[in-house]
């Protein structure tokens, strides 16, 4: 009896804590129109692109599951349709967390074959988190008088990255191949990512776009080709510094202790400190 009462109290207390956490967690969404029929929605997690027009709506990435209702509400401020398609730029949870909710609302999820494999490992066969359409090297989506070209880059941020080129809007969504946060990126070496792959992907994107192209990063504000070129230069510099520090078979521990990237004088996020970047770059370049 006493135990039950205590449990009830604990449940109530936990409920209260959860409620206050939920309030503290309130996400501020910001919607930016980058071209006619193309918006970017900033919330928590990867940036979402929204295509709207005569055929309906589709989106690129869907952030976290808990935000799906808010994301749907934001989409409705542009056009009342539920998204026909959801394109995933890669498998990470801050870009695919809403897949199940959107699939159950009727959206078809599109992604690279390797995104399917990784989401299947995580969520199991038959899960609504899995894409219904997958592709290899590239794919085109002709919808809303737009020709969205989904282009796969090998071993960049992960092994399943897609960059989406919007021909008519003259915009590109780069997923996490581009972190526009004024610092070095997360290269997910454990999911098949590599620093060289990120550099090659950015070089290719730069060749495919022009000075007026809107560049949508996976995280951070919308920007342009010039900033992407500066980011490429930073990555190349970081690579040179790392290779220099790794000369003569220096061990990972020694390189991390020497802090070679310190010279770049960058700020690091709490979840991605300099030590972790150094470790991932080392493992990638080794």
Q: Which residues bind Zn ion (CB under 5 A)?
A: 92, 176
Angstrom distance (rounded) from CA 55 to CA 67: 25
The three-class DSSP label of residue 112 is strand
Kindly tell me which of 197 and 260 has the beta carbon lying closer to Zn ion.
197
Across the chain, the runs of DSSP E, i.e. the strands, are: 30-35, 38-42, 48-53, 56-60, 85-87, 108-112, 133-135, 138-143, 146-153, 161-166, 171-173, 214-216
Kindly tell me which of 52 and 118 has the beta carbon lying closer to Zn ion.
118
Kindly tell me which of 250 and 279 has the beta carbon lying closer to Zn ion.
279
Shortest separation between residue 95's beta carbon and Zn ion, angstroms: 6
Shortest separation between residue 254's beta carbon and Zn ion, angstroms: 29
The three-class DSSP label of residue 204 is helix
Kindly tell me which of 144 and 180 has the beta carbon lying closer to Zn ion.
180
Task: Judge whether 157 and 185 are in contact, CB under 8 Å.
Answer: yes
Task: Judge whether 49 and 43 are in contact, CB under 8 Å.
Answer: no
Shortest separation between residue 168's beta carbon and Zn ion, angstroms: 27
Kindly tell me which of 176 and 274 has the beta carbon lying closer to Zn ion.
176
Shortest separation between residue 157's beta carbon and Zn ion, angstroms: 6
Shortest separation between residue 143's beta carbon and Zn ion, angstroms: 25
Kindly tell me which of 135 and 179 has the beta carbon lying closer to Zn ion.
179
Tokens representing 186 are 């997360």
Q: Which residues contact 2 (CB under 8 A, 6 or more apart)?
A: none
Shortest separation between residue 109's beta carbon and Zn ion, angstroms: 16
Tokens representing 242 are 């790392």
Tokens representing 14 are 């936990």
Angstrom distance (rounded) from CA 232 to CA 210: 16
């Amino acid at each position: 009896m006493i135990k039950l009462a205590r449990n009830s109290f604990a449940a109530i207390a936990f409920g209260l804590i959860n409620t206050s956490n939920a309030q503290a967690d309130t996400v501020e969404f910001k919607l930016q129109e980058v071209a006619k029929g193309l918006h970017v929605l900033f919330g928590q997690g990867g940036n979402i692109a929204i295509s709207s027009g005569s055929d309906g709506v589709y989106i690129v990435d869907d952030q976290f599951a808990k935000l799906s209702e808010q994301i749907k509400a934001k989409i409705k401020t542009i056009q009342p349709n539920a998204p026909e398609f959801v394109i995933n730029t890669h498998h990470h949870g801050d870009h695919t967390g809403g897949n199940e909710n959107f699939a159950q609302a009727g959206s078809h999820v599109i992604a690279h074959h390797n995104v399917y494999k990784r989401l299947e490992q995580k969520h199991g066969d038959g899960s609504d988190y899995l894409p219904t359409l997958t592709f290899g090297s590239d794919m085109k989506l002709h919808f809303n008088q737009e020709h969205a070209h989904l282009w796969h880059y090998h071993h960049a941020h992960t092994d399943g990255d897609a960059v989406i080129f919007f021909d008519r809007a003259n915009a590109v969504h780069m997923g996490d191949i581009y972190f526009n946060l004024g610092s070095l990126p997360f290269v997910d070496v454990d999911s098949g990512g590599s620093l060289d792959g990120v550099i090659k992907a950015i070089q290719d994107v730069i060749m495919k776009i022009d000075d007026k192209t809107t560049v949508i990063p996976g995280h951070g504000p919308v920007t342009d080709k010039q900033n992407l070129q500066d980011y490429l230069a930073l990555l190349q510099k970081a690579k040179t510094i790392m290779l220099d520090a790794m000369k003569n078979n220096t061990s990972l521990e020694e390189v991390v202790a020497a802090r070679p990237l310190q010279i770049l004088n960058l700020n690091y996020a709490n979840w991605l400190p300099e030590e972790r970047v150094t470790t991932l770059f080392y493992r990638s370049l080794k």
